[in-house]
Amino acid sequence: MIEGNKVRIRAVEQTDLDEIMKWVNDPEVIDNLLMRYPMSRYLEEKWMEKALDTSDMREKTFTIETKDGVYLGGIGLHKINWENRNAEVGIVIGKKEYWGKGYGTDAMLTILEFAFTHMNLHRVYLEVYDFNTRGIRSYEKCGFKKEGALRDDRYSRGKYHDTIIMGILKEEFEKIL
Ligand SMILES: CC(C)(COP(=O)(O)OP(=O)(O)OC[C@H]1O[C@@H](n2cnc3c(N)ncnc32)[C@H](O)[C@@H]1OP(=O)(O)O)[C@@H](O)C(=O)NCCC(=O)NCCS
């Protein structure tokens, strides 16, 4: 368990599958993610098999829950590069009624603390679509800086959007603690 102030980050459990199926086909949620096509339970089970396999040192995927144990979503460090000590972070609060209440920011701060202090990573970065103002605001609060933009990288809602790259270095994170 990785304890935050409002959330707890824990291992993915098979029992999370029912909760994941509740948001994984909700356009309002997945519009912000890499996903695009309808997702079957079978494909989600395949995803879960990978998440349950902790032997892959380049991928660490977890579940976010409230302190009372309410499932909220997932967070993960991906493409972990142990030579350059960096990783891409991904986050989703699947329960929409919990958006905008500080849970995502707390989960991100918690995983950053874990990444820099316990995993000895040096840089954590993420990709976010330009229309995801809630996400961008949350990441800025965590200390992420905009590093660049992939112009017209994502076609969504009938037009092209930039994918923004944001990143934070260990020393920058330590200053905001
Ligand atoms: C992005 C996400 C993780 C953020 O978590 P969250 O718990 O909703 O965010 P928080 O409440 O911690 O912070 C959001 C901030 O944005 C602000 N905000 C909320 N809605 C907003 C909006 N529509 N436009 C701009 N800012 C907004 C909030 O007021 C808050 O800032 P404040 O504390 O200064 O007032 C979550 O909303 C989510 O999972 N969304 C769907 C999937 C997704 O976008 N994943 C990330 C892909 S990069």
Helix (H, G, I), strand (E, B) or coil at 15: helix
Ligand 1 atom closest to the CA of 99, numbered from 1:
8
CATH of the domain at 78: 3.40.630.30
pLDDT digits (tens, 9 = 90+) for 78-109: 999 999 999 999 999 999 999 999 999 999 99
**How far is the centre of ligand 1, averaged over its atoms, from the C-alpha of 83 (Å)?**
32
Q: Which of 25, 62, 137 to mutate to test the pocket of ligand 1 (most atoms within 8 A of CB)?
A: 137
Q: CB–CB of 52/86 below 8 Å?
A: no
pLDDT digits (tens, 9 = 90+) for 25-48: 999 999 999 999 999 999 999 999
Task: Note the pLDDT of residue 177.
Answer: 82
What is the domain extent for residue 57?
2-176
Number of DSSP helices (H) and strands (E) in the chain, helices first: 6, 8
Two tokens, residue 52: 């349950």
The total number of structural domains that make up the chain: 1
